A and B are shown apart, each in its own frame.
Chain A
Amino acid sequence: MRSGATSPRTGTGPAQDLARLVDQHSPHLLQVAGFFAADGAAAQRMVVRAWHLALPVLLPDPLAGAEGTEPPRVALVRALAVGDPDDPRVDSGARALRLAVQGAGCFVPLQLQPVTAAAGRDDLPARLRAVVGPLRLVLLLTDVQGWAAQDVEELLEVRPAARRALLALARDQLCRDVRPLRAG
């Protein structure tokens, strides 16, 4: 459903700019939240909470990031991970996301999994949810949402080599099982 994109626009100036920004970024935030929250309603609450927290950061110049120089998406995903102590359902999903962000920095890939066949399309969302938190976040931002490598590294505070290692492991987890392609 894309109800937000079709709802009438009201107001002018900054309010309209903000509405445009909300419509532009909310689907991506919702997608990330959806892979960490217990259900869709909790994901929606996570996103609303993130916008509330991000308003002082994004305003009074809400479109500063929309022009490509300083994308607000890093700030928004960080806000998404803050959670809400007054709403345990939101806090639960946000905590998982926060652990994913924090966990990425100290994640040391020790051993790669065996080469395996690619994931089937139908169960891709379920497979994504099964990927370990930090790896899931890297996979979501990179392969699903197409974030630039630099933005992912900024969010996770990792070096390029670490990001690539995380991404390699994430893809491997996603594609694991089914059947081995080769031996040795």
Chain B
Amino acid sequence: MTDVDDLPCDELVELVTDYLEDALDQDGRARFEAHLEVCEGCRAYLEQVRQTVQVLSLLPAEDLSAPAREQVLEAFRAWRIGGHQA
């Protein structure tokens, strides 16, 4: 059945993450994809989620500052001197 009534748009939105993680069962996946075939809005939504995930993965990360890093390593040295070394 390729009718959006079989899987309304608001229900499809709930399943997008499951779909992207391949966590839907065979029937669920078939209903999901049947809906996509006939619903331009949901196709666009799915694509937007995909794009958003892709963009999020590109967010830059910074390293610990040199003084902060030294604090951690100094704590390790003190920890070892304190007799906790293996």
Contact = CB atoms under 8 A, between A and B. Distances in A.
B62 A143 contact: no
A34 B21 CA distance: 27
Contacts of A84: none
A60 B85 contact: yes
Contacts of B9: 115, 182, 184
Interface in B42-61: 42, 44-45, 48-49, 51-53, 55-57, 59, 61
Contact of B17 (A27, A48, A164): A164
Nearest to B40: A182
A137 interface: no
B76 to A, nearest CB: 5
A72 B57 CA distance: 21
Contact of B63 (A1, A118, A143, A181): A1
Nearest to B71: A48
Contacts of B69: 3-4, 7, 19, 22-23, 26
B62 A30 contact: yes
B9, B42, B65, most chain A CB atoms within 10 A:
B65
A132 interface: no
Contacts of B30: none
Contacts of B23: 160, 164
Contacts, number: 146
Interface in A61-80: 61
Contacts of B14: 112, 165, 168
B79 A59 contact: yes
A57 B53 CA distance: 32
Given A22-B73, A181-B44, A171 B52 contact: yes
A174 interface: yes
A130 interface: no
Contact of B61 (A27, A40, A48): A27
A118 B57 CA distance: 15
A52 B75 CA distance: 7
B64 A139 contact: no
A175 B52 contact: yes
Contact of B65 (A4, A51, A160, A184): A4
A181 B42 CA distance: 8
A23 B76 CA distance: 14
A143 B52 CA distance: 9
Given A27-B64, A139-B56, A171-B49, 7 more contacts: A3-B69, A18-B73, A60-B86, A124-B56, A164-B21, A168-B14, A175-B49
